[in-house]
Amino acid sequence: MTATEIPTARAIDPDKLMGFVFKAVGEVGATLNTALVVMGDQLGYYRAMADGTPTTPAELAERTGTDEHYTREWLAAQAAGEYVTYDPATGRYTLPAEQAAALTDPASPAYLPGFFQIAHGTTRDAHEVLAAARSGDGRGWHTHNADVHDGCERFFRTMYNAHLIGEWLPALEGVAAKLERGARVADVGCGHGASTVLMAQAFPRSTFVGSDYHAGSIEIARARAAEAGVGDRVTFEVAPATGFPGRDHDLITMFDCLHDLGDPVGAARQVRAALADDGTWLVVEPQAGDRVEDNLNPVGRAYYGFSTLLCTPASLSQDVGLALGTQAGPARIRDVATTAGFTRFRTAAQTPFNNVFEIRP
């Protein structure tokens, strides 16, 4: 059968068909909600409701300096999606405490706006990925709109705040002690430097060099380090992962970037060459199992979506274009490491969103 032929009629279960249609209606609502959450975040709607005071559309408009026609429709959409509650007796809407934490508190481990922001930015660029899927071309990380870069920083920083210093680094053999004493660290593919700055704040005797091929990200990372007061021990360089600066590092880190690289094996060889003999390579990747069927769950769904629209095109845009995929899984990551000459590979920690690998020569 060619792609244009219509398949022969197949028996249809009408209940299953309608079940699928209503599931799809829910998903269209959820798709639009991505933009509505970004709207609530950027216009300050959620923050204005964070104290739990029941609010009318007019009051929300007044408090945020926005137009009531928009707060009225936005609140109704949020109520239909169970982001806020609605009391028909008073015509007031309330942001529950849990939603307030997840949508307004950057210190909460459940802080979500960055996740929506990167999804919103990603779907806005999807038309170009459609063209690339026909031709087999890629689309570089640096070519995306700022919501992709800023959303990525905000989304991942939440996880690093929650786990990096207290769980992931202590899970690596001997690494936390070295960092306490004073270690040399390279953070490769560091983006806006959220992980680099966090580590520098936690380990004042250590020095850090962050690198990324995207000059715009490095400019922001430098500003973040200066704002955090760690600019004296943290430098940032524009460099590809296959040629990042420095030698004899005690720790080399890659946070959520290995699968984005065109040439992860080339980058792994560079890590091997730049690592001290007793050094550690820390690779944090999205949570995934090795088989597709291991990842057919809500987290896997989100990550396969990002993989199709963001990470796989990013890898394909570069030399080699290995396109590991966002959900590469431990076995493929281990293959990358062993091909580059590493001999020890261990899953050191896991969260519902992250696999944390300890890799050593």
Ligand X SMILES: C[S@@+](CC[C@H](N)C(=O)[O-])C[C@H]1O[C@@H](n2cnc3c(N)ncnc32)[C@H](O)[C@@H]1O
Binding site for ligand X (CB under 6 A): 141, 152-153, 156, 189-191, 194-195, 212-214, 217, 240-241, 255-257, 260-262, 314, 318
Q: How far is the CB of 261 from ligand X (least distance, A)?
A: 5
Q: How far is the CB of 226 from ligand X (least distance, A)?
A: 18
Among all chains, which residue has been given the structure tokens 């720790």?
Answer: 251
Distance in angstroms (rounded) separating the CA atoms of residues 254 and 275: 13
Q: How far is the CB of 338 from ligand X (least distance, A)?
A: 21
Q: Which is nearer to ligand X, 129 or 152 (CB)?
A: 152
Q: Which is nearer to ligand X, 62 or 167 (CB)?
A: 167
Q: How far is the CB of 267 from ligand X (least distance, A)?
A: 7
Characterize the bridge pairing of strands 184-188 and 249-255: parallel
Q: For residue 194, what are its two tokens?
A: 């959220």
Characterize the bridge pairing of strands 92-94 and 85-87: antiparallel
Measure the CA angle with vertex 193, ends 181 and 304; round to 5°: 120
Q: How far is the CB of 161 from ligand X (least distance, A)?
A: 12
By the 10 Å C-beta count (0-12 exposed, 13-18 middle, 19+ buried), 209 is classed as buried
Rg of the Cα atoms in the chain: 23
Q: Which is nearer to ligand X, 68 or 150 (CB)?
A: 150
Q: How far is the CB of 116 from ligand X (least distance, A)?
A: 16
Q: Which is nearer to ligand X, 85 or 143 (CB)?
A: 143
Other Cβ atoms closer than 10 A to 167: 15
Measure the CA angle with vertex 265, ends 261 and 266; round to 5°: 80
C-beta nearest to ligand X: residue: 191
Give Cα 100 to chain centroid, integer Å: 21
Q: Which is nearer to ligand X, 55 or 355 (CB)?
A: 355
Q: Which is nearer to ligand X, 237 or 335 (CB)?
A: 237
Among 12, 15, 35, 34, CA closest to 23: 15
